[in-house]
Chains A and B, each alone.
Chain A
Amino acid sequence: MLRYIIRRLMISIPLLILASFLCFALTTAMGDPLGEWKLQKPRTPAEISAAYERTGYNKPFLERYGSWAGDFVTGDWGESVVPGNAGRDVKTDIGKAFVVTFRLVILAEIIALLLGMLVGVIGAVRQYSLFDYTATGISFAMFSMPLFCVALILKTGGISLNNWLESIGADRWIITAGPPGDGFKGGFGEQFFQYTGAYILPTISLVVIQFALYSRFQRASMLDTLNADYVRTAQAKGISEARSIFRHAFRNALIPIVTVSSLNFGATIGGAVITETVFGWSGMGKFLVDAITKLEPFQVLGFMMVTAVFIIVFNLIADVLYAFMDPRIRLD
C-alpha cells in the first residue's frame, strides 16, 4: 500500500507539470491582462511598455512559462500586475483565502455526506414508501436548483430573519457578509452566536446541493446491494433483517460513495465560488472571480495550481480508501 502511494505521488509530479503547462496556456487564452486597461483611456507608449514589462507579456509564450514555472516551484508565485491593482503577493492572498474556504467547505461536505448517506439508505430500504418519495422529490428539486439561487434566497431569508429579530429586540444573528477577517471576539457564547450566524447560511447552501447528490447516489448503490445474491445468502443463514441490511448491503454500498465523495471533495472548491460570491466571503471563490474579472494571470495561475494539487491529492485518497474498503482491490 505504501509503495502504491509513493508511486502515485511520483506520477503526480509530471502530471502537475503538464497541468501547469495547461493552466498557463489557459491563462494566456484568457486574454491580455492589459487589454481593458489600455482601452480605459489613452495611455502613453511609455506607460504601456512599463506595464507590459511588469506583466511579462512582452515576451514569447515559452519564455514566460519558463520563468513563471521556475519562480513558482521556488515559492515565488508572482503578484498582481494589472495597473491599479498591482503589487499584491499572490501566495499570501491565496493562503488567506484558502483557509477561509477550507473551513466552510469541509464542514458542509461532512454534513452533506452523512445526511445524504442516511437518507439514501432509508430511501432504498423503504423503497416506494412515503419517505422515499418525499426524499426523492426533495432531492430532485434541490438538484434542479442553481446553487446561486438557493444561496440568494437563503440570504434574503436571513435578512428578513434579522429584521424580525431586531423588531423583537434581539440581536441580528445572521451575518451575510462573510466572517470577520480577524476572527470572532467575546466570550464562548458570543463567539458561538457569531460563528453560527456567519456559517449557517453558506453551509446550508452548499449542503443542499451536495446532499441531493449523495442521497440519490447512496440510494442507487444501496438498491444494487440490497438485491445482491450475498444479501440473500446472509438472510438464508437466519440473521436479522437489520443486520443483513447494514452489515452486508450497506457495507458494500459504502464503497462507491466513499470514492465519489473523495473525488467530489477535491472539486468542491469550484462550488465554493458561487457561495462565497453571494455571501461575500473572502475565500478562494471570490479570489478567483476577482482574478478572472481583472484579468490577473498570476492570481489565476496560483488558484489553478492549488486546486490541481487538491484534486490530485483527493484522487489519491479516493483510490486508497477504495482499496482499503474492498479487499478485491490490491494496489501494488
Chain B
Amino acid sequence: MTDLTSPVAPPPTAPTTADKSQFDSSSARKQWQVIARRFLRHRAAVIGVVIFVILVLFAFLGSAFWQYSYTDLGFTRYENPTANHPFGTDRLGADMVAQIIRGTQFSLQIALVVAFLSTLIGVVLGALAGYKGGWVDTAISRFIDLLLVIPGFIIAAVLVRNSFVATATGGGSSNWLVVALYLGLIGWLSIARVIRGMVLSLREKEFVEAARALGASTSRIIFRHILPNTVDVIIVNATLAVAQAVLLEAALSFIGLGVHSPDTSLGLMISLNKNELNLHPWLFLIPFVFIVLISLSVNFIGDGLRDAFDPRQKRVKA
C-alpha cells in the first residue's frame, strides 16, 4: 500500500550531514509530545481537565478547608444562599457546601472505581478472547451475548437491592462500594467486545508473527506488543466510562436502588430534593450543576483524547 503522506505531519527533514541515523529513539518520545500537543489544542478538552481537577480537589480536600462539616446540623433550615452559606442550607439545617463536598466525593469515588473495574475486566477478558481464540473466545463471547440480553442497569438494580434488606430496620451500612462493584461488573461488556475485535486483527499482523518467531511467550506478546496498540482505545473508553458511571449511579440512586445513608452521592441528593424545585430550587440545582460539570468535563476530556490519538482531518496525498 502506498504511503499516504498527509501535508500536516511533516516528513523528516533532509539531514544536512549524510550520517544522522533516521532511527533516533527520540522519535518515540516525540509521538507522545505530538499527542499531548494535539490534546492541548482542544480548548474544550483543556477546560475539561481544569474543571475536573478543580472538582477533584474540591471533593477530596474541600472538607479540610471548609469551616463547616456535613454533620453540623444547627443552622436555620432552608436558608437561601448567603455569604455564610454559599450554597444555602437544606431541610435538616445542614450546610449545603459541606454536603456537596461530600456528595461530589462519593460520586467521584464510585465513578472512578466503576470505570477502573469495568475497564480492567473488559480489557483482560477481551484480550484473552481475542488472542486465544478457540473455545476461550467462544465461551467469553457467548457469555457476553448472554449478559447483553438483560439491560445492565436492571441487573445492577436487582443486585444492589440485596444490600438493602439487612438495613431495613434502620441504621445503615455503607454500601457505596457495593454499588460501585456491581456497576463495574456490568460495565465491562462493551469494552471487552471492542478490545476483542482489536486484538483479533492485531494478532494477524506481521509484527506479532515476528515476535513469535523470535520466541516470545504469549503473555509477552500480549503485553508488550498487542496491548500497547490498544492503549488509545482503552484510555478513551475508560474516560468516557467515568462520565457514564456518574450518571448511572445517579439514576440508580434516584429510583432508590443505589447508595443510601450513611453514604450519599450527588444523585441521591437530587433525588431527596426532587420536590424542592419550586420553593427552594438551589437544593436541586446545585447538585445538578455539579453532576453535569463532572459529566461534561470528563466527556470533553474523552473527546479531546479521542481526537488527540486519531485526528480526523481531510488527508490529501502529496
11 A-B pairs, CB-CB below 8 angstroms? Answer: A18-B146, A26-B158, A36-B165, A144-B299, A146-B250, A146-B254, A292-B257, A307-B150, A311-B148, A311-B149, A312-B149
Closest B residue by C-beta to A226: B314
| Also in contact, A140 and B300, with CB within 8 A (given A36-B165, A148-B250) | yes
Q: Which residues of chain B have C-beta atoms less than 8 A from A303's C-beta?
A: 154
Nearest Cβ distance between residue B165 and chain A, in whole angstroms? 4
Give chain A's interface secondary structure class. helix
Cβ of A293 under 8 Å from chain B:
yes
Cβ of A270 under 8 Å from chain B:
yes
Q: Give B contacts to A, CB under 8 Å.
A: 145-151, 153-155, 157-159, 161-162, 164-165, 168-169, 243, 247, 250-251, 254-257, 267, 270-271, 274, 277-278, 284, 288, 291-292, 295-296, 299-300, 303, 312, 314-315
| Also in contact, A19 and B146, with CB within 8 A (given A146-B254, A227-B314) | yes
Q: Which residues of chain B have C-beta atoms less than 8 A from A308's C-beta?
A: 149-150
Nearest Cβ distance between residue A156 and chain B, in whole angstroms? 4
How many interface residues does chain A have, given as a range? Answer: 35 or more
Q: A39 touching B168 by the CB < 8 A rule?
A: yes
Cβ of A325 under 8 Å from chain B:
no
Question: Within the assembled complex, what's the spacing in Å between the Cα atoms of A274 and B164?
Answer: 20
For B291, give its contact among A146, A152, A277 (CB under 8 Å): A146
Q: B169 touching A39 by the CB < 8 A rule?
A: yes
A-B contact number at CB 8 A: 129
Question: Within the assembled complex, what's the spacing in Å between the Cα atoms of A143 and B168?
Answer: 35
Q: A149 touching B288 by the CB < 8 A rule?
A: yes
Q: Which residues of chain B have C-beta atoms less than 8 A from A18's C-beta?
A: 146
Q: A147 touching B165 by the CB < 8 A rule?
A: no
Q: What 17 additional pairs, Cβ within 8 angstroms, besides A15-B149, A307-B151?
A: A22-B150, A36-B168, A146-B270, A146-B295, A148-B254, A149-B292, A152-B270, A152-B277, A156-B277, A223-B312, A227-B315, A270-B154, A274-B251, A274-B255, A289-B157, A293-B161, A307-B150
Q: Which residues of chain A have C-beta atoms less than 8 A from B169's C-beta?
A: 39
Question: Within the assembled complex, what's the spacing in Å between the Cα atoms of A114 and B277?
Answer: 32
Nearest Cβ distance between residue B254 and chain A, in whole angstroms? 5
Cβ of A201 under 8 Å from chain B:
no
Q: A16-34 CB contact bits vs B (8 Å, 1 = yes)?
A: 0011001100110111100
Q: A128-172 CB contact bits vs B (8 Å, 1 = yes)?
A: 000000000000110111111100110010011000000000000
Question: Within the assembled complex, what's the spacing in Å between the Cα atoms of A300 and B155?
Answer: 11
| Also in contact, A32 and B165, with CB within 8 A (given A289-B256, A293-B257, A308-B149) | yes
Question: Within the assembled complex, what's the spacing in Å between the Cα atoms of A18 and B296?
Answer: 39
Question: Within the assembled complex, what's the spacing in Å between the Cα atoms of A31 and B161?
Answer: 7
Q: Which residues of chain B have C-beta atoms less than 8 A from A60's C-beta?
A: none
Within 8 A of B (CB), among A302-321: 303-304, 307-308, 311-312
Q: Which residues of chain B have C-beta atoms less than 8 A from A300's C-beta?
A: 158
Question: Within the assembled complex, what's the spacing in Å between the Cα atoms of A31 and B178?
Answer: 15
For B149, give its contact among A19, A31, A39, A277 (CB under 8 Å): A19
Q: Which residues of chain A have C-beta atoms less than 8 A from B146's C-beta?
A: 15, 18-19, 22
Q: A29 touching B149 by the CB < 8 A rule?
A: no
Cβ of A327 under 8 Å from chain B:
no
Cβ of A288 under 8 Å from chain B:
yes
Cβ of A84 under 8 Å from chain B:
no
| Also in contact, A147 and B284, with CB within 8 A (given A35-B168, A152-B277) | no
Nearest Cβ distance between residue A146 and chain B, in whole angstroms? 5
Question: Within the assembled complex, what's the spacing in Å between the Cα atoms of A227 and B154?
Answer: 40
Nearest Cβ distance between residue A168 and chain B, in whole angstroms? 19
Nearest Cβ distance between residue A312 and chain B, in whole angstroms? 6
Question: Within the assembled complex, what's the spacing in Å between the Cα atoms of A98 and B209?
Answer: 53
| Also in contact, A146 and B274, with CB within 8 A (given A140-B296, A273-B255, A277-B254) | no
